[in-house]
Amino acid sequence: MKRRLVALTAALAIAAGGATLVAGQASADDGSTAAASAAGYNALPPFAGKTFLITVDNGNVYKNTYSADGTQLHSETVQGNGVGEVFDATLATSQVGWNLYFTNWVEPNGVTVSHVMNFNNKTVQVYFTFQTATGTRLGQLHSATMTRVA
């Protein structure tokens, strides 16, 4: 129960004030990294060094390849709008629960993307914002699945 409360408190703190939950430092009853790791908090996010297909409910599919340290993203649109578009971005990532990660980046075209990646059920909640031709900034919320391909 204490671990769930710590994870919930950390998630609320991140949402409220941009706090960062550092992997290996939260949720351990005795403060040890070993206990934190056993609770599902790892030094590296589970996407580090791997490639996933992100299949979004709007028909777009992205092939996302993450650097070995989990701080960089190489993305290619493989289906839907913008097929063939490729970009690289720097990630900001926080672990917000057991096998649950919040990650965010800004694409070269100014689109901001936030993912809540749930490695327990292989789903992703996607929120992105973009500027319209009239200068208005809009946001959209989508659901997605993730499938590891490499």
Strand ranges for 7-136 from DSSP E: 51-56, 61-66, 72-79, 86-90, 92-97, 100-106, 112-118, 123-131
Query: Residue 41's pLDDT is what?
Result: 55
Judged against a pLDDT cut of 60, whether residue 32 lies above it is answered with: no
Query: Residue 24's pLDDT is what?
Result: 33
Judged against a pLDDT cut of 60, whether residue 147 lies above it is answered with: yes
- Pair of tokens at residue 47: 């996407």
Structure confidence by residue, pLDDT tens digits, 94-121: 999 999 999 999 999 999 999 999 999 9
Structure confidence by residue, pLDDT tens digits, 74-97: 999 999 999 999 999 999 999 999
Amino acid at 80: G
Helix (H) or strand (E) holding 9: helix 2-17
Closest to 48 measured CA to CA, from 111, 101, 121, 8: 101
Query: Residue 43's pLDDT is what?
Result: 84
Query: Residue 131's pLDDT is what?
Result: 95
